Amino acid sequence: MMKKVFLIFLVLCIYAFPVIAQNTDGYVKVSQSIELDSLLARDMKYHTENPMWEGYRIQVFFDAGNNSKRKAQDVIEGFILEFEEIPAYLSFREPYYRVRVGNYHTRLQAAGKLEKISRIYPGAFVVMETINPQIPSYQELNPPEENNFDDELNEQEP
């Protein structure tokens, strides 16, 4: 019996040594070439200066012809008068001048604005395009919470 207890104790001690020997400081060393650092820095600088990614816009006009550029500029002017908070873009891809508006991250966001825009521009539709994203500020991401609990309690009291 004593031999079994001693053997179990010995086995437990042997398995406990690796646990004691583990370092809990958590130090990791990453080795990478200088070329990779400079490439990452250039990439980060480029994307900071040119923040663009795939998203959606609403196309409100496209036309080809002699006066199509002037018509497109007139559409932009009219659009800005109606929807001054939405940016408008004039582009040309042969043979069409196009007017596209907005910078939407999802098709659902674009579809929400399309409802309002299509009342004035019935031929408008959503297209996928490279957009200029607007990075929201901290206040836009975290609006102040309105605490109306006191008002609700006062209304419920007889």
- Answer for the pair 41, 56: CB distance below 8 angstroms, yes or no: no
Strands in the chain per DSSP E: 53-63, 88-93, 96-104, 125-131
Domains of the chain, earliest start first? 49-131 (3.30.70.1070)
What does the mean pLDDT of the chain come to? 81
pTM as predicted: 0.57
| pLDDT higher than 60, residue 40 | yes
What are the pLDDT digits (tens) for 100-133? Answer: 999 998 999 999 999 999 999 999 999 999 988 7
pLDDT band of 26, cuts 50, 70, 90: confident
